[in-house]
Structure 1
Amino acid sequence: MPERRRLLPAMLIGLVLAGAGPLLAAVEPGAMDPAKAALLRGDGIAGEVALNKVLAAGANRADIAARMGEALLLQGDLIKAREWLGPGQFAKGEEAHGWRMLGMLERLSGNLPAAGQAYDKALALSPKDPLLWVDIGRLRYVGGEQLQALEASERALAAGPDNPRALEFRAQLLRDQSGWDAALPLYEQALEQLPNDLSLLGGYAATLGEAGRAKDMLVVTRKMIGIVPKHPYAWYLQAVLAARAGKIDLARRLLDRAGTRLKDMPAAIELTGLLELEAGNANLAAGTLERLADRQPVNQRLQLLFARALYESNDFNKLHDRFDGLAQRPDAPAYLLELIGRAYEEQGDRLAAAPFLDRAAAATVPAIMPIPERDPIGVLAVRWSDMPGVPARAVGYVRSLLAANNLAGAQNVANQFRQLHPGSAEALALWGDVAMAGGQAGQALDAYKLSARVRFPETLLLRMGESFDKAGKGAEAMPVVASYLAAYPGSRLAARMAASHRAFAGDWGAARAILENLRRRGGGRDVRLLSDLSLAQLRMGDHAAALASAEQAYLLQPGSSVTAQALGMALAFAGQDKSRAGALLDKAQAIGGANKLLDEARRKL
């Protein structure tokens, strides 16, 4: 009996272990391979199915928790993913991957501090994982630490020079930083390893399109559709190509193929509005564009497109209510001034129309001014004080403070925002704006240069140009503009700035070449461009071409001092119709005042 009693616990333990076989069973070697392969190609559903088979074969939850969480993340099911990842219980060898997936879950859920904590745990276990550094970089980017995100992208490439995701992330950053052509080789290198990866193909196609390689872009989008026939982004990219080629009906049909899956994508909303406008459906275009215009108040291209839709739909009351205030500003675009003026004319109010049309005809280059928000400044103050680290709230509030000439208040808010997000491109650019408003052009230029290391939009280039001039470093702007134009050859603003620089340097041949290229690319109705081109042609001694360009500009806007001056000069230098030339020069001076070019033309007469 004593011996039986001694054996009983051992027997019970054996029975417990036998009954609990699945709880403690090890995963068979290779059992996870099908799931890992599915996850690697981005197929979360196939990954989940494969993992459930592993679980049914005897694995426990910890064995598959990290991968199951990844599979559910790929499907966009954050709630179920948290059930697997939230406890933080991962099998040996899966810990780093599990913490990385939890970090991704928290990032996608908007819990950025929690995401950082999870990534820190993963980093302690796997400090040279390129995918982890990519995820850390993405977290830093959305968290307003974009300079630090650049550093993370470099760490990712150092850890995995051929890793497709590291290459993709670096390419995405390069597009904003150094131009489309700089990103293409990285996409191509990544696609050598994952030729059917839809994320890589989509980024590559979009970059090809922006780089002006439309045929190559079409080839890539067709490949995407071959892989996933209903891929919405591929159909959207093809619609963009058709719209650029002027094939409006085709573009609308292609965009319809994307269905409603892009209904919240800003670029798709803007394209839809543009296509409806071009198709003659102005009311539908206005309704589509209004909701996006409310979300992007400083997107000038979008705002002007919305104004055009309101004008063409004869909704003059809403046009005036929405844009008359903006049109009163000294920096109002000439196109908006013309729309407002024509609207008043069509309403029979010529007295109200006259000042807007006169200003549009003057074709002067507006000063750079801060854009205030539509909401009252007190409302913006309350919103900012509740959440001072949210970019949209800080930026809008600072703009309104600057517009109200409250420099001290703007400095306070911009400084707090920069302290909260020291590596943010937005915070740096905003600090530069405040420095410019305070007459500190040198400080502004330093801030703009740092911001441009992350993201270099046209608006920043324009502000940098002004800060170079005001800091007494105008000559230093020339290589910056030239470099920008090389990176973004489609930028009309950079081309105009480059033409101006070449003209001031006396290189009229280069200035003329740039301006003629702009005219061919859709600038045939830009009266200032045509007038500038006429002057460049005059300086090159091509009087016939100068006269043709000036005549074209004058026909478009005969009430403009700029076009009158251009045509008067062209006639004077060509030695034709001196009486008309003199009258035009007098008209230009009466509208726009005296200048050295008018004096030169009169001497020529």
Structure 2
Amino acid sequence: MRRVLVFGLCLGAFAVAILAFRSVIADRPDPAAAREALARSEAYLKANNASAARSQAFGAVRADPAWGEAHLALARANLMLDEGIAAEAAIRRAIDSGVAPARTHALMAHAILLQGDPRRALIESRKAPQADRLYALRVQTRAYTAGGNLAAAQEAAMAAVRLAPASADAWTELGRFRLNAGDIVGAIEASAKAVDLDKGNTDALVLRAELVRTQYGLVAALPWFERALQRDPYRHATLIQYAATLGDAGRTREMLALTRRAMEVRPRSPQALYIQAVLAARAQKFGLARQLLQRAGGGVGQLPGGLLLGGALDLEEGAYARAIEKLRGLVSLQPMNIGARKLLATALLRSDASKNGIDVLRPVVERGDADSYALSLVARGYERIGERAEAARYFDRAALPVRDNAGWFSSDDSLPVLAAAAARGPRDDPRATLPLLRGLVEDGRGQEALSRAQDIARRNPGAPASASLVGDILMLLKRPGEAVAWYKTSAGIRFNEPAMLRLVEALDRSGQRQEASRTLALFLSQNPLNLAALRLSAHWQAAAGEFDAAIDSLEAIRLRTGNRDVALLAELAFAYAGAGEPERAARYAEAAYIIAPTNPAVAGAMGWALTQGGDHVGGIELLRKAVTLAPRHPMLRWQLAQAYADAGRSAEAVAETRAALETPGFTDKGAAEALLAKLAKLA
């Protein structure tokens, strides 16, 4: 046994020695393999596939860890993937391995900039030799932009284009700068030039995708993101942008698949987790949404989107103090964010800070087009602090189905105060200038306001907000036909929701309803889940008698917003009644009536649904209530007239029809006159 044991131990020792020898042999540098891997890495970089280039550069480093060129290739790939820390580490290893420091200054400047230090990046970029001047200028463009020195950034970007007019990278950098500076037209031109110079440049394709999304819409941008991912299927930034665009376009399954691929590239990717959290919240899986948002980390949570989502989730859980903290921060960052203001006011009212909630919503409810939810919140706030008269005024406004045209945040300040505020803000900034121009219009100095707005637009032809500013002043001056051209200019540069709503309103008010409908349809084809567009489309579809189409639009909204929007429920009741489904119409109308029995639109919907189902007595009673509550609403009077006619009460039908015809805004004149003629024959 001892002999067997000794023999076994000898065999084991021999095996260990063999394994150790093989390990030593395996760890020896393999320069040939390193050169082959480096060549593949450089080929992938030229093909704009930074992910594959990094993988091959890793292979070169493993094959020959002491070879500086391999580390330098790894640094370049990391920089293309926006990995600043990893790039700096690779650069330092390259220098330690014998690479001349002069060759690394531009690369190091880029790595430092990616880590959030533009001042140090500028210092490092100025050390770059002439051979790397183009790269250094591109880094300087980004660094100056990050530091707020837009004049120096523009100079650096233009110098890069002059130095290398055939460089797609230089034109892409110029386009990115112009986009950040608000010159959308200039950015579009530069991005198009970059793609023309190099149709496979991933950065140029991504920039082009972003600008197409801005100019035309979500759906139009998707092919550009797909082209970029064909070049580099695992570039994290592109995956995130594409996933977000898919989600906004309603293609949630594809979006989820993209976020999972992004997390293969970067495990625990904050951006991917945030997108998944938004998807969970939309599906009302609030617990899952909170878990995902927490996993995304504090960085994402402090961005505007993270603050809004986090505040909404806190509000859902009843954690009002946390919701107030987040939403107050968001409103300070985005004062014009009406959705954030309504959420913050809701949290304040639920935490017994009613006066603060009223103050938050005051700029919103001073608008003529304030929605019923905001008005009801303010009314409840006044009710809780004992001001019944003010509460009743806002409850009355919330109950009215008629809304004035869209306005702007109002200001009680005098013209000198508004002028001083505009002077303190950035030059030509429409957000700072509009209150002053509005004040001039209200003071009877409309032509002066228009001249100032047109002067700003002339100085900033590439900024869509400048063209919108002129359109806004023309709308205030009640010249919608002239505003159309300015709004078209703005929408041709940036076709987002505000641009669409402005253009559609101006077209409609200037008698161009068909063109307004085409504009709305075009926007919806690119943004199929946009709630404002869906609601406006449903309203027009119902008015045109296209009830099935209106139902589809309204049901899509209800699936997103729930069953507590009384105006939406009333519109659904009207649409189902028009589509010949009175029982379903009655169910929606009843649900709305339980929530808001004093709302005239809801009472009218309930009455109309009952009359369409054959209950003329009950329907007429509710329609009369609606007309009493909102006597200047022509559609309610017209519905009451038709209900009277169907019930054989001709005299009352004639009276209400004539009242509807005399009410401003009535659009069914042909049908009303035909009903009068029919009733006259019967008499």
TM-score (norm 2): 0.78
Report what 1:36 is aligned to: 76
Matched, 1:241 2:241: no
Q: 1:550 to 1:400 in 2, by over 3 A?
A: same
Matched, 1:427 2:466: yes
Report what 1:514 is aligned to: 553
Report what 1:544 is aligned to: 583
Helix, strand or coil: the match of 2:315? helix
| Alpha-carbon distance between aligned partners in 1 of 2:165 and 2:129, rounded to the nearest angstrom | 18
Q: 1:30 to 1:91 in 2, by over 3 A?
A: farther
Report what 1:91 is aligned to: 130
| Alpha-carbon distance between aligned partners in 2 of 1:404 and 1:318, rounded to the nearest angstrom | 30
Q: 1:120 to 1:279 in 2, by over 3 A?
A: same
Contact 2:453 2:466 in 1 (8 A): yes
| Alpha-carbon distance between aligned partners in 1 of 2:233 and 2:270, rounded to the nearest angstrom | 19
The 5 A counterparts of 1:235-274 are 235-274=273-312
Matched, 1:311 2:357: no
Report what 1:210 is aligned to: 248
Report what 2:427 is aligned to: 388
Q: Residue by residue, what CA displacement relative to the aligned partner does 1:509-557 show, whole Å, maximum 9, x if unpaired?
A: 3223323333344353333333333333333333323333332332222
Report what 1:9 is aligned to: none
Report what 1:604 is aligned to: 646
Report what 1:361 is aligned to: 399
Q: Which amino acid aligns with 1:342?
A: R
Moved more, 217-226 or 331-340: 217-226
Report what 1:294 is aligned to: 332
Contact 2:157 2:170 in 1 (8 A): yes
Contact 2:68 2:98 in 1 (8 A): no
Q: 1:490 to 1:603 in 2, by over 3 A?
A: same
Q: 1:318 to 1:403 in 2, by over 3 A?
A: farther
Q: Residue by residue, what CA displacement relative to the aligned partner does 1:84-117 show, whole Å, maximum 9, x if unpaired?
A: 2236x5233x232222222222222222222222
| Alpha-carbon distance between aligned partners in 2 of 1:328 and 1:401, rounded to the nearest angstrom | 18
Report what 1:5 is aligned to: none
| Alpha-carbon distance between aligned partners in 2 of 1:198 and 1:574, rounded to the nearest angstrom | 57
Superposition deviation, residue 158 in structure 1: 1.0
Q: 1:264 to 1:550 in 2, by over 3 A?
A: closer
Matched, 1:69 2:109: yes
Q: 1:265 to 1:412 in 2, by over 3 A?
A: farther
Whichever of the two has the greater Rg, that structure is: 2
Moved more, 275-284 or 46-55: 46-55
Helix, strand or coil: the match of 2:622? helix
Report what 2:630 is aligned to: 592
Superposition deviation, residue 127 in structure 1: 1.3
Contact 1:63 1:91 in 2 (8 A): no
| Alpha-carbon distance between aligned partners in 1 of 2:608 and 2:459, rounded to the nearest angstrom | 55
Of 456, 481, 484, the match for 1:442: 481
| Alpha-carbon distance between aligned partners in 2 of 1:48 and 1:226, rounded to the nearest angstrom | 23
Helix, strand or coil: the match of 1:452? helix
Q: 1:55 to 1:538 in 2, by over 3 A?
A: closer
Matched, 1:161 2:203: no
Superposition deviation, residue 31 in structure 1: 8.4
Moved more, 292-301 or 543-552: 543-552
Of 115, 127, 134, the match for 2:172: 134
Q: 1:374 to 1:255 in 2, by over 3 A?
A: farther
| Alpha-carbon distance between aligned partners in 2 of 1:90 and 1:341, rounded to the nearest angstrom | 67
Report what 2:186 is aligned to: 148
> Relative contact order (alpha carbons < 8 A, sep ≥ 6): 1 or 2 greater?
1
Q: 1:31 to 1:498 in 2, by over 3 A?
A: closer
Number of residue-to-residue matches in the alignment: 576
Report what 2:517 is aligned to: 478
Q: Residue by residue, what CA displacement relative to the aligned partner does 1:303-354 show, whole Å, maximum 9, x if unpaired?
A: 1111111111111121233334643553322112211222333344444322
| Alpha-carbon distance between aligned partners in 2 of 1:144 and 1:389, rounded to the nearest angstrom | 12
Q: Which amino acid aligns with 1:241?
A: L
Contact 2:119 2:143 in 1 (8 A): no
Q: 1:391 to 1:384 in 2, by over 3 A?
A: same
Helix, strand or coil: the match of 2:299? coil
Q: 1:404 to 1:309 in 2, by over 3 A?
A: farther
Helix, strand or coil: the match of 1:155? helix
Superposition deviation, residue 64 in structure 1: 3.2
Q: 1:390 to 1:342 in 2, by over 3 A?
A: closer
Q: Which amino acid aligns with 1:419?
A: R
Q: 1:126 to 1:325 in 2, by over 3 A?
A: closer
Matched, 1:352 2:395: no
Please tell me the root mean square deviation across aligned C-alpha atoms, in Å.
Answer: 2.7
Q: 1:405 to 1:163 in 2, by over 3 A?
A: farther
| Alpha-carbon distance between aligned partners in 1 of 2:72 and 2:363, rounded to the nearest angstrom | 63
Report what 2:502 is aligned to: 463
Superposition deviation, residue 280 in structure 1: 0.5
| Alpha-carbon distance between aligned partners in 1 of 2:441 and 2:336, rounded to the nearest angstrom | 15
Contact 2:137 2:160 in 1 (8 A): yes
Report what 2:526 is aligned to: 487
Superposition deviation, residue 427 in structure 1: 1.2
Helix, strand or coil: the match of 2:300? coil
| Alpha-carbon distance between aligned partners in 2 of 1:325 and 1:298, rounded to the nearest angstrom | 9
| Alpha-carbon distance between aligned partners in 2 of 1:287 and 1:380, rounded to the nearest angstrom | 29
Q: 1:459 to 1:46 in 2, by over 3 A?
A: closer
Q: 1:99 to 1:324 in 2, by over 3 A?
A: closer
Superposition deviation, residue 396 in structure 1: 4.8
Helix, strand or coil: the match of 1:261? helix
Q: Structure 2 unaligned runs (5+)?
A: 1-66, 648-683
Q: 1:549 to 1:425 in 2, by over 3 A?
A: same
Contact 2:355 2:382 in 1 (8 A): no
Helix, strand or coil: the match of 1:262? helix
Superposition deviation, residue 78 in structure 1: 1.7
Matched, 1:232 2:232: no
Q: Structure 1 unaligned runs (5+)?
A: 1-26
| Alpha-carbon distance between aligned partners in 1 of 2:324 and 2:482, rounded to the nearest angstrom | 41
Contact 1:362 1:559 in 2 (8 A): no
| Alpha-carbon distance between aligned partners in 1 of 2:614 and 2:206, rounded to the nearest angstrom | 60
Q: 1:417 to 1:84 in 2, by over 3 A?
A: same
Q: Which amino acid aligns with 2:277?
A: A
| Alpha-carbon distance between aligned partners in 2 of 1:389 and 1:483, rounded to the nearest angstrom | 31
Q: Which amino acid aligns with 2:469?
A: L
Q: 1:539 to 1:226 in 2, by over 3 A?
A: closer
Report what 2:678 is aligned to: none
Report what 2:233 is aligned to: 195
Report what 1:452 is aligned to: 491
Contact 1:372 1:403 in 2 (8 A): no
Matched, 1:561 2:561: no
Helix, strand or coil: the match of 1:332? coil
Moved more, 245-254 or 164-173: 245-254
Of 431, 440, 446, the match for 1:407: 446
Of 117, 140, 143, the match for 1:102: 140
Contact 1:144 1:421 in 2 (8 A): no
The 5 A counterparts of 1:46-85 are 46-52=86-92, 55=95, 62-85=102-125
Superposition deviation, residue 381 in structure 1: 1.9
Superposition deviation, residue 288 in structure 1: 1.6
TM-score (norm 1): 0.88
